[in-house]
Amino acid sequence: MDTIRKDDERERVLLLSVDTGEYDNDRAVEELKALTDTAGGEVEGVIVQKLPAVNPVSFIGSGKLAEAELFCRNQQIDLTICDGTLTAAQQRYLTDALKTRVIDRTVLILDIFAAGAKTYEGKLQVELAQMQYFYSNLTGLGEGYSRLGGGIGTRGPGESKLETDRRHVRRRIGALEAQLKAIDKRRTLQRDRRKKDGFVTAAIVGYTNAGKSTLLNTLTDAGVLAEDKLFATLDPTARALKLPDGREIMLVDTVGFLSRLPHLLIDAFRSTLEEAVSADLLLLLCDASDPECEEKLETSMELLKDLGAQNKPIITVYNKCDIAPNAYLMPVSRNSVRISAATGVGLGALLELICKNMPEQTAEIRVILPYKETALAAWLHENARVKSETYEEDGVHIAATVKKSAMYKFVPFLTRE
Ligand SMILES: Nc1nc2c(ncn2[C@@H]2O[C@H](COP(=O)(O)OP(=O)(O)OP(=O)(O)O)[C@@H](O)[C@H]2O)c(=O)[nH]1
Ligand SMILES: [Mg+2]
pLDDT computed for residue 319 by the predictor: 96
344 CB-near residues (< 8 Å, 6+ apart): 218
Residue whose CA is at the smallest distance from ligand 1 atom 9: 211
Whose alpha carbon is nearest atom 10 of ligand 1? 211
CATH number of 199-357: 3.40.50.300
- Cβ–ligand 1 distance for 214 under 6 Å, the answer yes
Q: How many CB atoms are closer than 10 A to CB 118?
A: 12
Report the distance separating Cα 163 and Cα 147, nearest Å: 10
Q: How far is the CA of 180 from the centre of ligand 1 (A)?
A: 29
300 lines ligand 1 (CB under 6 A): no
Residue 129: closest CA among 295, 226, 265, 332: 265
Cα distance between residue 382 and residue 403, in whole Å: 12
Q: Name residue 50's beta-bridge partners.
A: 19
Phi, psi values for residue 180, rounded to 5°: -65, -35
> 228 CB less than 6 Å from ligand 1?
yes
204, 283 in Cβ contact below 8 A? yes
Atom of ligand 1 nearest to the CA of 343: 31
So what's the pLDDT on residue 346? 92
Tell me how crowded residue 406 is: count the other CB atoms within 10 A of its CB.
Answer: 16
**SS3 per-residue string spanning 146-158:** CCCCCCCCCCCCC
Q: Cβ(323) to ligand 1 under 6 A?
A: yes
Residue spans of the domains in the chain: they are 7-137, 199-357, 362-413
Of the chain, the end-to-end C-alpha distance in Å amounts to 50
Identify which of 285, 261, 266, 378 has the alpha carbon closest to the alpha carbon of residue 338: 285
User: What are the pLDDT tens digits along the chain (417 aa)?
Assistant: 444 445 567 999 999 999 999 889 999 999 999 999 999 999 999 999 999 999 999 999 999 999 999 999 999 999 999 999 999 899 999 999 999 999 999 999 999 989 888 888 889 999 999 888 888 776 544 434 444 456 677 665 554 444 456 778 888 999 999 999 998 888 888 777 777 666 788 999 999 999 999 999 999 977 777 777 787 777 778 888 888 877 788 898 888 888 888 888 888 888 778 777 788 899 999 999 998 899 999 999 998 998 888 888 999 999 999 998 776 666 677 789 999 999 999 999 999 999 888 877 778 899 999 999 999 999 999 988 899 999 999 999 999 988 877 888 898 899 876
Q: Write down the pLDDT at residue 155.
A: 64
List the one residue out of 243, 239, 233 whose CA is nearest residue 252: 239
Closest CA to 211 of 302, 338, 335: 338
CATH code of the region 7-137: 3.40.50.11060
Report CA(114)–ligand 2 centroid distance (Å): 15
Nearest ligand, CA of residue 230?
1
> What pLDDT, on a 0 to 100 scale, did the predictor assign at position 349?
93
Q: Dihedral through CA 266, CA 267, CA 271, CA 277, nearest 10?
A: 40
Q: How far apart are CA 3 and CA 40, in angstroms?
A: 5
Query: Are domains 7-137 and 199-357 of this chain identical in fold?
Result: yes
Residue type for position 56: P
Task: Tally Cβ neighbours within 10 Å of residue 321.
Answer: 24
Look at residues 269, 263, 266, 271 and name the one whose alpha carbon lies nearest to residue 182: 271
Q: Under CATH, to which class is 362-413 assigned?
A: alpha beta
Which of 61, 57, 73, 56 lies closest to 16 in space, CA to CA?
61
Closest CA to 35 of 102, 96, 88, 107: 107
C-beta 290 within 6 A of ligand 1: no
What integer pLDDT is reported at residue 141 of this predicted model?
Answer: 45
Amino acid at 304: L
CB of 233 sitting under 6 A from ligand 1:
yes
* Alpha-carbon gap, residue 238 to 69, rounded angstroms: 49
> What's the chain look like in SS3?
CCCCCCHHHCEEEEEEEEECCCCCHHHHHHHHHHHHHHCCEEEEEEEEEECCCCECCCECCHHHHHHHHHHHHHCCCCEEEECCCCCHHHHHHHHHHHCCEEEEHHHHHHHHHHHHCCCHHHHHHHHHHHHHHHHHHCCCCCCCCCCCCCCCCCCCCCHHHCCCCHHHHHHHHHHHHHHHHHHHHHHHHHHHHHHHCCCEEEEEEEECCCCHHHHHHHHHCCCCCCCCCCCCCCCCEEEEEECCCCCEEEEEECCCECCCCCHHHHHHCHHHHHHHHCCCEEEEEEECCCCCHHHHHHHHHHHHHHCCCCCCCEEEEEECHHHCCCHHHCCCCCCEEECCCCCCCCHHHHHHHHHHHCCCCEEEEEEEECCCCHHHHHHHHHHCEEEEEEEECCEEEEEEEEEHHHHHHHHHHECCC
